[in-house]
Every structure is written in C-alpha cells, then in structure tokens.
Amino acid sequence: MFRGDKVFEKFEKRVWLSSPTMHGDELKYMKEAYTSNWMSTVGENINEVEKKVCEYTGSKYAVALSAGTASLHLAIKAAGIKVYGMPKSGVNVLEGKKVFCSDMTFAATVNPVVYEGGEPVFIDSEYDTWNMDPKSLKKAFEIYPDVKIVVIAHLYGTPGKIEELNKIIEEHNAVLVEDAAESLGATYKGRQTGTFGDYNILSFNGNKIITGSSGGCFLTDDEEAAKKVRKWSTQAREDAPWYQHEELGYNYRMSNVIAGVVRGQLPYLDEHIARKKAIYERYKAGVKDLPLLLNPFDNENSNPNFWLSCLIVDSDAMCRQVRSENETCYIKETGKTCPTEILESLSKINAEGRPIWKPMHMQPIYRMNPFITKEGSGRARTNAYISGEITDIGMDIYSRGLCLPSDIKMTTDEQDRIIEVIRSCFG
C-alpha cells in the first residue's frame, strides 16, 4: 500500500469510472463494413450481433437497435399494445395509464413510459440488492390494482429478486419489461438477466461492460413482437415496392458499423466480467475494516457482472452532508466521512467516481408522480430527506452511496491508491 503524500499524487492518466476496453477485433469488423460498403442498417455485423446475443443469453429473438433507450421505447410500446391493443391514430399506446417502474435507476429506464403517454409510478428499493423491493411492489398493486406493465432495472449489474418480483407481476396478469442495460452477463439462478420479462433490453453504451460506443438490443421469446419491433425500428415501412407506412415508425435500427464494434466485443464478455469481479473483490478486501458496505447481492442465487463497484457509508459513520438540486456541502468530522468527501478526494488524484443514481421520485421532472414504499404512499415523507429524517430506502442509499472507479484497465497499484484515499477520508 502507499503511504504519506504519495497517496495524494495525481495519476498521470485519468482513472475512469468505466471506459471502453478494446481488443482489436472491433476494428476488423468495422473495416469489413467499410470495404463491403454495408454502412447503413443492414449487414452481416448486425446479423451476427443478433445471433450471438441470442446464443449467449438464451433469448429466442434479438433485434439490434441504435441505443438501449430506443430498445426500451419499443419494449414499452410492445407491452402497451399487448395489454391495451393498438391505439387510435394520433394517440399514444399508454395514454393515461399508470406503469410501475424501478425508482433507483437512470432516467432512460423511465422516460420511454412517458414517450408512450404513460404515468410512471415509482417503486422503492430494498437493501439486499438495491433493486425494486418485492414488498413495495406488492403494496403498489394493492393501491393500483389495474396496472398492467412493470419496468424493472438491475442496478449496476446486480440482479434484483426477479423471480419473486415476477411472481407478483404474474399474479396480477401484468407484463414485465426487464431493463438489463447494466447487467449483460449477470445471472439469477443460472438464467441470464434480460430473459425473464415478456420484453427485455440490453445496452451497448460507451461505458457498459460490452460497448459499441452506442447501441442496444431488444430481446423476447415472442416472434411476432420481434417482427413488430424490427418493423417499427425502420420507420414502419410496409412490405410494398414503394414507401408505404400504415403506422408510426422510428429510425432506431443499429448501424452495421456500430454492430461491428459490438461483434468484436462480445467474445470478451466473460473476460470483462471476471476482471470486473476482481476489482470488486479487491475493494471489498481493502475496506473490510471500515464502516462501509459494497453494493450487495444474493450470494446463493445471483452472479452479478460487477459492472460498477459501489459503496455506502454506515449511517453512524456519516459526517453531516447536505445536497441541493445541483450543489452539495459537508462538514468534515474525525472518524467520519460522506460520499461528497470521498468523491472530492478521488477527483484530486485524477480518478473518476460518481454519486449513486438519484432516485426518480426525487427528480424535479418526476417529483409529482406517485411513489410507493412497503408501507404505502411515500410521497408524504419525501421532504424528510431535506430534514435528514430519511425513511425511504432509495433516498437512504442515494444519500450514503457512491460509485467507485471500476475501469478494467485500472492497475492494482492504482486501485490500491484509491483504497488508501478512501481510508484517508476517515482520518
């Protein structure tokens, strides 16, 4: 380990949260797209990505799209049509309908519900996995028994209690849309995330465990849904010799060039997971005697992909910290720390960390939407965050948590220094 002032020397090159790790095959397949002149949304790279994703995950059908968000949008649209039927012309599928959504996630999980005219209802998290709480979901169905679509995300590559959640969903004849954008390669009871829902999605964004710089995938076992999504993603063009359109379409298909990057990355997925896991384990060993907890998972049933290593500070080890909408401050206390102090200290040595996802029910854009905890409506207690009386689990994890540098290219020496910086924050 590093001691003294050397701990706080800046890294010459920035240590990233999670940047792309290239291997060379990506360039070969991109060049093939170039030399064959298949540069648009048709080509062998796209075909191979869809084939390989199905082989790896066990999904029957995959449709390669331009982004994880595009994939989610069409998954939500497909779910809405399955439940409510085709809308009248000019009316969105979910117009006026409530949809249950994970609360602690990136906004892309939720925004497509609004694209389709729906109203997100946020379901609180639970401490065991930081994902959607089954007890809160059960309570939500008691309050809103007519809801027919549930969108669940697997946070930071850790599977939620997906079987327990899905049992509740099935009991209410609802449809599961599974957001596995962060969890490609993670399994629950030996089954890949992204295969539990009626409609599921993956992301190949630049910071994901497998990247195309952009891109995503729609997964399903429903052949008709796969055909429908494939059609929608290419402007819903009908099978006619001219350009004929009978329903709304989108420019969402993955390009053959981006697919070349993804195709070149996919064979290295298991290697990336192993290296991410080693990073997680080194952090866990390095802070084991500190009042911290790394992002937890179900050891018996799940195998995360360890996309990001995160931690939360024990409640009694938190110094005083206050966050506004876009600023934060804290008061240093001996023997205590907070996410803001740790993130500032990491930044000083040129290492990138980030706060935990701010829960959706705390976001200005969604602050008036319903929010459900295991006790019932959580809206009346939202202002407790400001006073420090945090009762909602998502709020609590957000207030005490942060994401650590988790880049595969980070060396063990660099990680050792990061661990020492974390330790110094308790001084």
- Pairing mode of beta strands 98-102, 119-123: parallel
The region, left, alpha or beta by phi > 0 then psi within -120 to 50, assigned to residue 189 is left
Residue scoring higher pLDDT (381 or 263): 263
Say how far apart CA 174 and CA 393 lie, in whole Å. 25
The DSSP element (H or E) to which 414 belongs, if any, is: helix 412-424
Average pLDDT over residues 14-21: 97
> Which residue in 97, 98, 139, 208 is the catalytic one?
208
The answer to whether the 4-20+269-424 and 25-266 domains have the same CATH topology is no
Q: Which residues contact 265 (CB under 8 A, 6 or more apart)?
A: 22, 23, 25, 26, 204, 210, 211, 212
How confident is the model over 204-221, as a mean pLDDT? 97
d(CA 269, CA 184) in angstroms, rounded, equals 9
Q: pLDDT at position 6, please?
A: 72
In this predicted model, what pLDDT tens digit does every residue of 311-323 receive, in sequence order? 999 999 999 999 9
- Residue corresponding to tokens 């959640």: 165
The answer to whether 208 is a known catalytic residue is yes
Give, to the nearest 10 degrees, the angle between helix 223-232 and helix 68-84.
120
CATH label, 4-20+269-424, candidates 3.40.50.1220, 3.40.50.920, 3.90.1150.10, 3.40.50.300:
3.90.1150.10
Per-residue pLDDT tens for 107-147? 999 999 999 999 999 999 999 999 999 999 999 999 999 99
For range 281-291, the mean pLDDT: 98
Question: Token pair for residue 60?
Answer: 């029957």
* Per-residue pLDDT tens over the stretch 321-364: 999 888 999 999 999 999 999 999 999 999 999 999 999 999 99
Nearest to 182 by CA among 261, 102, 247, 293: 102
Query: 94-103, 190-199, 292-301, 391-400 — which is least confidently predicted?
Result: 391-400
pLDDT at 183 over 90: yes
Rg, Å, the chain Cα set = 22
Q: Residue 379: exposed, middle, or buried by beta-carbon count in 10 A (0-12, 13-18, 19+)?
A: middle
pLDDT top residue among 6 and 204: 204
Which architecture characterizes domain 25-266 according to CATH? 3-Layer(aba) Sandwich (3.40)
pLDDT band at 389 (very low <50, low <70, confident <90, very high): low
Question: Which DSSP symbol is given to 359?
Answer: P
Confidence of residue 1 (pLDDT cuts 50, 70, 90): very low
Q: Supply the pTM of this predicted model.
A: 0.95
* Whether 408 contacts 21, CB under 8 Å: yes
Residue 388 has pLDDT above 70, yes or no: no
Q: Which two tokens stand for residue 326?
A: 């876009």
Question: Hey, what amino acid is at 343?
Answer: L
User: Which pLDDT value is given to residue 369?
Assistant: 97
Contact call for residues 52 and 266 (beta carbons, < 8 A): yes
CA 387 to chain centre: 29
The pLDDT tens digits of the residues spanning 144-175 come to 999 999 999 999 999 999 999 999 999 999 99
CA 264, 266, 267, 272 torsion-angle sign? positive
Question: Which sequence spans correspond to the domains of the chain?
Answer: 4-20+269-424, 25-266
- CA distance linking residue 193 with residue 191, whole number of Å: 7
Better-predicted residue by pLDDT, 77 or 87: 77
Q: How far is CA 114 from CA 76, 196, 235, 372, 393, in A?
A: 10, 23, 20, 18, 25
CB atoms inside a 10 Å sphere around CB 327: 7
CA distances for 64 relative to 52, 118, 151, 229, angstroms = 11, 25, 20, 10
- For residue 289, pLDDT over 90 is answered with yes
pLDDT at position 170 is 98
pLDDT tier, 381 (very low <50, low <70, confident <90, very high otherwise): low
Angle between the N-to-C axes of helices 412-424 and 339-348, in degrees from 0 to 180, rounded to the nearest 10: 130
Distance CA(332)–CA(318), nearest Å, equals 10
pLDDT value for 219: 98
pLDDT at 386: 47
The pLDDT of residue 379 = 62
Tell me what the pLDDT averaged over the chain comes to. 95
Q: Is the pLDDT of residue 9 over 60?
A: yes
